[in-house]
C-alpha cells in the first residue's frame, strides 16, 4: 500500500463510507414491523443496526480528523451551540443533502421485499471485497474499522443471497418480482466502482472489487435462475453530493428531531 492519504482525501472518503451505511440502515429500518415473516423482519432490523454501528465508527473517526484540523467549513457542518466541534451526531444530523456522499443505490425506495434484499445483496457484496482491502490499509484506524465489520458483512451476504435464490428460483411470481428488481437497480450498481476524486489516493483497487463482485453476483444469479442485465446506464453523482429526489425525504425524516429540538440528548 502507498503512504497514508492526506486528510483532504481521507475525510471525504470516510464520510462516503459512513453516509452509505447510514442511509441504507435507515432504508432497512423502514421495514421494521412490516416484514413478510416475523423472523426475517427481525433479521433485517438487526442488519440495519449493524450498518448503523458501522456508520457510527466511520463518523467518529471523521469527526476526530475534522476537529484536529479545527476547520468545520471543510465538511460544511453548520455552527450550532451544542456542536462547537464535529461529532457523529452533527455529521449525521446537521449536514444537508448536497453534503452527503452516499451511493445512489442505497437511497432508492425499498420497493417490494425482493428489491430490498437485492439491494442489500449488491451492497454487502461490494462491502465485503472493499473491506477486505481496507483491513490491510496503511491507515490503521480505517483498517481496524473494516476488519471489525467484515464478520457482520459476511452474514449480510449469506442472508440476502439466500433470499435472492429463494425468490428467484421459487414461484413464477417471485421470479418475476426478482427480475423486476434486477431491472430497477441495474443502472445504480456501477457507481460503486467508479472512483470519485477523493478515492483515487486511497489505493483501493476498484477494478478488482468490480471483478469479484460480478463473479459473486453471477454465481448467485445462476442458482436463482436470474440473468445479469445486458445494458446498463451508469447513474452517478452520489459520491459527489448529487442525489436523487429520495435523499431529501430521508433526511427530512431522519434529521427532524435534531433540527426541531437542537442539541437534544437522550
Question: Residue 246 belongs to a domain with what CATH number?
Answer: 1.20.1260.10
Residue 128: domain span: 7-260
Q: What's residue 161's pLDDT?
A: 98
In-domain check, residue 266: no
Q: What's residue 131's pLDDT?
A: 98
In-domain check, residue 265: no
In-domain check, residue 1: no
Q: What's residue 2's pLDDT?
A: 41
Q: What's residue 77's pLDDT?
A: 53
Q: How many CA atoms lie within 13 A of 161 on its CB side?
A: 19
Q: What's residue 82's pLDDT?
A: 43
Question: Comparing C-alpha atoms, which of 172, 123, 118, 169 is closest to residue 149?
Answer: 123
Question: Comparing C-alpha atoms, which of 66, 69, 206, 216 is closest to residue 134?
Answer: 206
In-domain check, residue 220: yes
Contact 41, 33 (CB under 8 A): yes
Q: What's residue 40's pLDDT?
A: 85
In-domain check, residue 207: yes
Report helix, strand or coil for 116: helix
Q: What's the CA gap between 96 and 202, in Å, rounded?
A: 25
In-domain check, residue 76: yes
Question: Comparing C-alpha atoms, which of 119, 230, 243 is closest to residue 185?
Answer: 119
Q: What's residue 4's pLDDT?
A: 55
Q: What's residue 41's pLDDT?
A: 81
Q: Give pLDDT tens digits for 199-228.
A: 998 989 999 999 999 999 999 999 999 999
In-domain check, residue 184: yes
C-alpha cell of residue 26: 435507515
CA distances 231 to 41, 97, 215, 227, Å, are 33, 30, 17, 12
The tally of domains found in the chain comes to 1
C-alpha cell of residue 141: 484506524
pLDDT < 70 positions in the chain: 1-7, 70-84, 265-266
C-alpha cell of residue 150: 467484515
C-alpha cell of residue 162: 439466500
Q: What's residue 3's pLDDT?
A: 41
In-domain check, residue 63: yes
Q: What's the CA gap between 211 and 171, in Å, rounded?
A: 30
Amino acid at each position: 500500500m502507498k503512504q497514508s492519504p492526506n486528510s483532504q482525501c481521507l475525510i471525504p472518503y470516510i464520510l462516503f463510507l459512513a453516509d452509505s451505511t447510514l442511509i441504507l440502515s435507515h432504508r432497512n429500518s423502514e421495514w421494521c414491523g412490516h416484514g413478510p415473516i416475523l423472523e426475517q423482519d427481525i433479521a433485517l432490523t438487526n442488519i440495519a443496526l449493524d450498518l448503523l454501528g458501522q456508520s457510527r465508527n466511520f463518523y467518529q473517526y471523521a469527526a476526530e480528523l475534522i476537529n484536529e484540523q479545527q476547520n468545520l467549513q471543510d465538511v460544511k457542518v453548520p455552527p450550532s451551540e451544542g456542536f462547537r466541534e464535529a461529532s457523529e451526531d452533527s455529521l449525521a444530523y446537521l449536514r444537508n443533502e448536497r453534503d452527503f456522499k452516499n451511493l445512489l443505490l442505497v437511497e432508492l425506495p425499498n420497493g417490494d421485499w425482493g428489491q430490498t434484499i437485492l439491494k442489500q445483496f449488491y451492497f454487502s457484496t461490494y462491502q465485503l471485497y472493499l473491506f477486505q482491502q481496507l483491513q490491510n490499509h496503511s491507515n490503521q484506524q480505517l483498517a481496524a474499522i473494516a476488519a471489525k465489520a467484515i464478520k457482520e458483512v459476511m452474514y449480510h451476504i449469506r442472508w440476502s443471497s439466500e433470499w435472492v435464490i429463494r425468490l428467484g428460483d421459487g414461484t413464477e411470481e417471485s421470479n418475476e418480482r426478482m427480475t423486476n428488481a434486477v431491472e430497477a437497480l441495474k443502472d445504480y450498481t456501477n457507481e460503486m466502482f467508479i472512483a470519485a476524486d477523493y478515492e483515487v489516493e486511497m489505493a483501493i483497487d476498484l477494478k478488482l472489487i468490480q471483478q469479484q463482485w460480478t463473479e459473486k453476483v453471477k454465481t448467485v444469479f445462476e442458482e436463482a435462475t436470474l440473468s445479469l442485465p445486458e445494458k446498463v446506464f451508469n447513474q452517478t453523482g452520489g459520491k459527489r453530493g448529487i442525489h436523487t429526489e429520495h435523499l431529501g425525504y430521508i433526511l427530512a425524516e431522519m434529521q427532524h428531531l435534531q433540527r426541531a429540538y437542537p442539541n437534544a440528548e437522550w
